[in-house]
């Protein structure tokens, strides 16, 4: 293959392609259609997740939870009486 190490196999490229597309947000179905896999199972064989991606997912979940906590706190504050608000300061 032009420009690639001699030990790179076609299937190495397939693994990389599947993994990168899902990191960009492609769904399993997007990946199946995009590379012409016949089944979801076949596409899952080629997808991988690394520690960097797991950190990204965890960070995203943390951000969602922080936002929900903030909204819940703001709603509770709106419903609190003036006395309760004064005690919290």
Whole-number pLDDT of residue 61: 92
Long-range pairs for 63-71 at CB < 8 Å and ≥24 separation? none
pLDDT in tens, 9-32: 877 888 888 888 888 888 888 888
Mean pLDDT throughout 71-80?
78
Contacts with 49 (C-beta within 8 Å, 6 or more apart), sequence order: 19
46, 14 contact by CB (below 8 A) = yes
Task: Tell me the C-alpha distance between 67 and 53, whole Å.
Answer: 21
Q: What is the pLDDT of residue 1?
A: 45
Which pLDDT tens digit goes with each residue over 27-63? 888 888 877 777 888 888 877 777 888 888 889 899 9
Give dist(CA 88, CA 75) in Å, integer: 15
Residue 80: predicted pLDDT: 66
């Amino acid at each position: 293959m032009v420009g690639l190490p001699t030990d790179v196999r076609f299937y190495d490229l397939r693994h990389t392609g599947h993994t990168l597309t899902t990191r960009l947000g492609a769904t399993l179905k997007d990946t199946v259609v995009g590379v012409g896999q016949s089944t979801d199972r076949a596409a899952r064989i080629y997808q991988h997740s690394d520690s960097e991606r797991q950190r990204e997912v965890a960070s995203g979940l943390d951000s969602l939870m922080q936002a929900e906590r903030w909204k819940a706190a703001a709603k509770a504050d709106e419903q609190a009486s003036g006395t309760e608000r004064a005690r919290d300061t």
